Chain A
Amino acid sequence: MFKPTIGLEIHIQLATKSKMFCSCSTEFGDPPNTHVCPVCLGLPGALPVINKEAIRYGVKLAHALNMKINLKSTFYRKNYFYPDLPKGYQITQYSLPLGFDGFLEIPMEGKIKKIRIERGHIEEDSGKSIHIGDITESEYSFIDFNRSGVPLMEIVTQPDFESGDEAYEFLTLLRSIVRYLGVSSGDMEKGALRCDVNVSVSKDENKGTKVEIKNLNSFRSVKRAIDFEVERQIKAIESGERIIRETRHFDEKEGTTKPMRVKEELNDYRYFPEPDLPPLELSEEFVLEVKNEIPELPNKKAVRYIETLGLQEDYARTIAYNKKYADYFEDIVNKVGHPKEVANFFLVNILGFLNKKGKDVDELTFGSNEFKELFSYLDSGLISTNIAKSVIEESIEKGISVKEIVESKGLVQITDENVIKEIVVKVLKNNPTPVSQYLSGKKQVFGFLVGQIMKELRGKGKPELVNKILNEELLKLEKGDEP
């Protein structure tokens, strides 16, 4: 049996207003080179100055990922030439990262899997190179330095993953955490979260040869790339090939990994301490203050939803991992109760409806007051769950209150036993054949009779009552009593 060993390196853009070492805006999507200055353009004589907020965000994220914090951390220069790296070196933490020795627990097939985190360090982003057509063929590349110097926290995991699914689950939780903390948008499509993967497979205790995969543009790509690469390496080994240590590129269309056509540079980054930035020393108080700012995180929330609110696992996670959902859900449950029902209505009806309309949860006006009314009808048996669902949709769509819809449409159920009994007797009288079939033992006719009664009641008969009264009347007939 081959065992895959997979590690992730994740770059998370920190959502500060200004860059890591200069006061340029971090705004995404503006025209090229409109957020650049001597510092982030690497002009002669410019010097870096650390953004305090970036450090705060970094500490927050390190805490959330259960890392230990280095009260003294250091910045280094990582030297290499690339056109989107204006200084010819990247300022990054090396020997003493901000955070180290953390972990994150992910749910996998009903169990908990612990992924260890080696380190979390602060660094600056590079600019962006844009190639017209293929990188190897286009005559020129175009460089935009707006992203140059945006703060990043790089999270390096231990090689604890064994499948693409685990990586997918980890990234989903991680993204949720950074959004809860407000330290990053976590948007992969905007490059605010980027992930490289290291994959090796091995039959024995010896580590296999590590292959790095780049160009992963979505969590799904990460999963697909891992699954493909594991498979590829196993097949290669089985057919007697040697795996070479290399960087591969994920081909989105084909779902395959390919060796980078880019010739790899001589890899010798010549790290040395950044003389322009003395060590960063944090006080215990600062670290504690930041720790206290951390809200209940999605993984904890999900557990609470399951254990104390009784939600089913997938519902609990879907709600908990999305801060907007969780805020909405908790607001309602705090005021109205009924967590399971609320979760159900929210995930099945409300979200379904919003998705259809392309709207977001924070645009909802259907809130705790509406749920309160809805449950008062439901609890007293005045409407059925099915009707409640259509009421919700109509209320959201038209912006009309629950009460108005229920009343104006006469959706309230018939619960008057006398009224129902009258109709039951009438139906039994008008359907002698089915009745005699029932009496002679063909019990499935019961459903037909319910249908006929409901038709007479225009669907509003309370089903439990209809069933109960029909049963009673049929029993009387069986005993030979006159109805």
Chain B
Amino acid sequence: MDITALSVSQIVSKIKTKELKAKDVVLTYLTNIDRLDSEIKAYLNVFHDYALKRAEEIDNNPNKKGLLLGVPVAVKDNISVKDFELTAGSKILKGYIAPFDATVIEKIKEEGAIIIGKTNLDEFAMGSSTENSAFFKTKNPVNTEYVPGGSSGGSAAAVKANETLIALGSDTGGSVRQPASFCGVVGLKPTYGRVSRYGLVAFGSSLDVIGPIGKSVEDVAITLSVISGFDLRDSTTAKVPVLNFETYLTGDIKGKKVGLIKEIQNFKIQPEVEEAFRKSLEIFEKNGAEIVEISMPHLKYALSVYYIVAPSEASANLARYDGVRYGFEGNADNLRDFYEDTRTKGFGSEVKRRILIGTFALSEGYYDQYYLKASKVRRIIFEEFKRAFEICDVILTPTSPTTAFRFGEKATPLEMYLSDVFTIPVNLAYLPAISVPFGVDSKGLPIGIQMIGKWFKEEELLNTAYVLQEEAKHV
């Protein structure tokens, strides 16, 4: 039996019926990690002993329950797992052992998931290629000369390389969807407020969401059901019922209206991506959906808004890394210099760049012009989506304007930022969105299609994604 070919629900049911041992599942994935990860470098930390011990516990427990029973889950290393190091890809947190579990970790543990390790990321999730990790670069398993995308590059690569079945990532401006797209896997960004952020290392607090990455829409749907829900420890979670999302994957989208943003033609898109995108529209039409044109004239401002709002929030969120209570300690004989030494040595350049942008955007004399202005334009973009969703059920875009790029290819920060133009507006508007692989370019690099759903309507979004996934099998 090829264990890596099994889906989440297959693994869970086989373990329940004792057809399969959790230990064999874990060993299969650990073996893949041992075999491949020296090249891919998806993991910062592999929980060999812990994972095997958990698997044995499951195998020895006659009471076999849980939506993720025995399922190996890789966790982006900006999510707190009790008693394990949490680095957020940064030198400044090196050596920090988390004394508590994130809410999503509690939830997946309760459902029998086996955390297999922590995956690499751009430092503090700031980046689109995982090149900004303080430790090493993760490679795209499809072609190791290319980046896996980011910032959840380790998570996406681990799923693609069969080094885990499911991975958790975080998405502030596309950090789940864009690497999923680059690696050819499925990545979901839930509605803001759907999944607790408690235990997620904060980057842009009004944008951050934890989301699952998997090989299929079904696997992602099950994981979403597990990690969702109101959490008293996160005041920004919503009291919205948690559904069994997998049961909504009917493949029936007849009569649904798929929105096509008119202004998308103004963006520079790689021709092969553009072609795949057109094809995906046809597929929806073929399946009984109607394509409707929507206009979002303010979409072009999303990047500016994002690169003000996210760094502003980050500049405060990252102030706690001062070397006093945990993590990396600088060296100086007075406190002020100690702070500066700790932070200057502890943070990488991209993180410093964003802290400085954010600090600037909030500073006296500039607040109105930058932070406040951006927050207002954010509302305009939000309202545009709201109007769009009055006439359509889901909006389609390419996930990223291009397929994966080579290491070092993006020469300036701005060039790098542009790879998230289609994912960023979704975070600004708190919406759910998913990236599903849909064909490859001439170099064999995966193309991802992004579907954006209505607020807290992940069941519809996932069903739409399911249709595309099933059709993609024949492309």
In-complex A–B contact (CB below 8 Å): yes
A32, CB-defined interface residue at 8 Å: no
User: Which candidate, B4-12, B49-57, B315-323, is the interface stretch facing chain A?
Assistant: B315-323
Complex interface residues of chain A between 66 and 96 (CB less than 8 A to chain B): 77, 79, 81, 83, 86-89
Choose one: B198, B325, B339; the contact of A86 (CB below 8 Å).
B325
Choose one: A44, A47, A77, A268; the contact of B234 (CB below 8 Å).
A47
Choose one: B80, B316, B367; the contact of A89 (CB below 8 Å).
B316
Known: A86-B320, A88-B319, A268-B364. Contact between A43 and B233, CB under 8 A?
A: no
Residue numbers in B under 8 Å from A277 (CB-CB): 235-236
Known: A45-B198, A275-B206. Contact between A81 and B99, CB under 8 A?
A: no
B332, CB-defined interface residue at 8 Å: no
- In the complex, what's the smallest C-beta–C-beta distance from B315 to chain A, in angstroms? 8
Main secondary structure of the interface of B (DSSP, over half): loop
Measured CB to CB, the nearest residue on chain B to A36 is B325
B362, CB-defined interface residue at 8 Å: yes
Choose one: A45, A83, A88, A272; the contact of B79 (CB below 8 Å).
A45
- In the complex, what's the smallest C-beta–C-beta distance from A97 to chain B, in angstroms? 19
Known: A83-B335, A272-B312. Contact between A44 and B198, CB under 8 A?
A: no
Give Cα A79–Cα B313 distance, bound, in whole angstroms.
Answer: 11
Q: How many A-B residue pairs have CB under 8 A?
A: 102
Give Cα A86–Cα B371 distance, bound, in whole angstroms.
Answer: 24
Q: Are B324 and A270 in contact (CB under 8 A)?
A: no
Give Cα A83–Cα B371 distance, bound, in whole angstroms.
Answer: 27
Q: Are A45 and B199 in contact (CB under 8 A)?
A: yes
One digit per residue, 1 when the CB lies within 8 angstroms of any chain A CB and 0 when it does not, for chain B 281-325 equals 000000000000000000000000000000011011011101011
Give Cα A77–Cα B315 distance, bound, in whole angstroms.
Answer: 11
Residue numbers in B under 8 Å from A88 (CB-CB): 316, 318-320, 322
Residue numbers in B under 8 Å from A89 (CB-CB): 316, 319
Give Cα A47–Cα B199 distance, bound, in whole angstroms.
Answer: 8
A336, CB-defined interface residue at 8 Å: no
Known: A44-B93, A48-B235, A270-B367. Contact between A276 and B205, CB under 8 A?
A: yes
Give Cα A276–Cα B201 distance, bound, in whole angstroms.
Answer: 13
- A-side interface size class: 20 to 34
Q: Are A77 and B198 in contact (CB under 8 A)?
A: no
Residue numbers in A under 8 Å from B318 (CB-CB): 88
Known: A44-B88, A49-B235. Contact between A38 and B201, CB under 8 A?
A: no
Give Cα A272–Cα B367 distance, bound, in whole angstroms.
Answer: 9
A46, CB-defined interface residue at 8 Å: yes
Give Cα A150–Cα B146 distance, bound, in whole angstroms.
Answer: 50
Residue numbers in A under 8 Å from B359 (CB-CB): 270
Residue numbers in A under 8 Å from B197 (CB-CB): 45, 47
Q: Are B236 and A278 in contact (CB under 8 A)?
A: yes
Give Cα A86–Cα B364 distance, bound, in whole angstroms.
Answer: 23
Q: Are A275 and B324 in contact (CB under 8 A)?
A: no
A143, CB-defined interface residue at 8 Å: yes
Choose one: A49, A87, A141, A143; the contact of B320 (CB below 8 Å).
A87
Q: Are B320 and A270 in contact (CB under 8 A)?
A: no
Measured CB to CB, the nearest residue on chain B to A268 is B364
Give Cα A344–Cα B272 distance, bound, in whole angstroms.
Answer: 96
Q: Are B313 and A42 in contact (CB under 8 A)?
A: no
Choose one: B201, B322, B362, B364; the contact of A45 (CB below 8 Å).
B201
Q: Are A47 and B316 in contact (CB under 8 A)?
A: no
One digit per residue, 1 when the CB lies within 8 angstroms of any chain A CB and 0 when it does not, for chain B 329-354 equals 00000010001000000000000000
A50, CB-defined interface residue at 8 Å: yes
A41, CB-defined interface residue at 8 Å: yes
Give Cα A275–Cα B209 distance, bound, in whole angstroms.
Answer: 13
Complex interface residues of chain A between 253 and 273 (CB less than 8 A to chain B): 268, 270-272
Listed A/B pairs (23) with beta-carbon separation below 8 Å: A38-B99, A42-B325, A43-B100, A44-B80, A46-B198, A47-B234, A49-B233, A77-B316, A79-B316, A79-B362, A81-B339, A83-B335, A87-B316, A270-B359, A270-B364, A272-B362, A272-B371, A275-B205, A276-B202, A276-B235, A277-B235, A277-B236, A278-B235
In order of increasing CB-CB distance, the 8 nearest A-B pairs are A88-B319, A270-B362, A275-B205, A275-B206, A45-B199, A42-B320, A44-B201, A45-B80
Other A-B contacts than A45-B202, A47-B234, A275-B204, 4 sampled, CB-CB below 8 A, are: A38-B99, A50-B235, A79-B362, A276-B236
Q: Give B contacts to A, CB under 8 Å.
A: 78-80, 86, 88, 93, 96, 98-100, 102, 197-202, 204-206, 232-236, 312-313, 315-316, 318-320, 322, 324-326, 335, 339, 359, 362-364, 367, 371
Q: Give A contacts to B, CB under 8 Å.
A: 38, 41-50, 77, 79, 81, 83, 86-89, 141, 143, 268, 270-272, 275-278
